Amino acid sequence: MRGLLDTLVKVSLIVAVALAATSVSYYYVIYLPGRDAAIEARRASERAAEIAEADRQQRLAEAERKRRAAEKETIEFVHKAGVQARYERCIANSESLYSVRWDGTCERVEEMRRKNYAQCMSNPVMGKPFCENTYGESSPSKNCRLPTGLAKDLGADLEQSRNRCFQEFQAGLE
């Protein structure tokens, strides 16, 4: 019986050692590598999520930068278009005023010529040929030929007005 008991103890001891060895082997060969792989997979997944989030944030920032640049470009375009339109109106107003002033000066010159001609004709000493040679024929009241001094003055005023328009245009672009 003692032999049986010894054999039973030996077998139990071998089974216990085999069981312990199997447990230790399972822990080191299967459990730890699986756990490490799972941890590494979770870390890789977290890194991938962080990279994806950083990439998404970068794309959002780039899209916002492009939107702001486009908005700024649109504002600048609209501003420049407004400045250009004001410049064109200023030039048109200057030329219109020049034309009105030229025509008004023509009317005044013609009125003065008629008065002088009438006075000349009322003087019996002067005579019609002298009055016609001195005061000439009537000229149209618009787009007439003005004396050089008056024409130069009106031209200088127009040029000065155009220069003012250009200066306002340049100031509006800054």
d(CA 166, CA 88): 10
70-87 pLDDT tens trace: 999 998 888 888 889 999
Q: What's the whole-number average pLDDT of the chain?
A: 87
Reported confidence tier of residue 63, pLDDT bands at 50, 70, 90: very high
101-122 pLDDT tens trace: 999 988 888 888 889 888 888 8
On the question of pLDDT at 141 being above 80, the answer is: no
Q: Which domain holds residue 102?
A: 2-173
User: What's the gap between Cα 131 and its chain centre?
Assistant: 66
Give me the pLDDT at residue 43, please: 92
Task: Report the number of distinct structural domains present in the chain.
Answer: 1
Q: Which pair of structure tokens corresponds to residue 149?
A: 């001094």
d(CA 98, CA 90): 12
d(CA 159, CA 157): 5
Q: Which pair of structure tokens corresponds to residue 45?
A: 């997944």
Q: Which residue did the predictor score with more confidence, 128 or 42?
A: 42
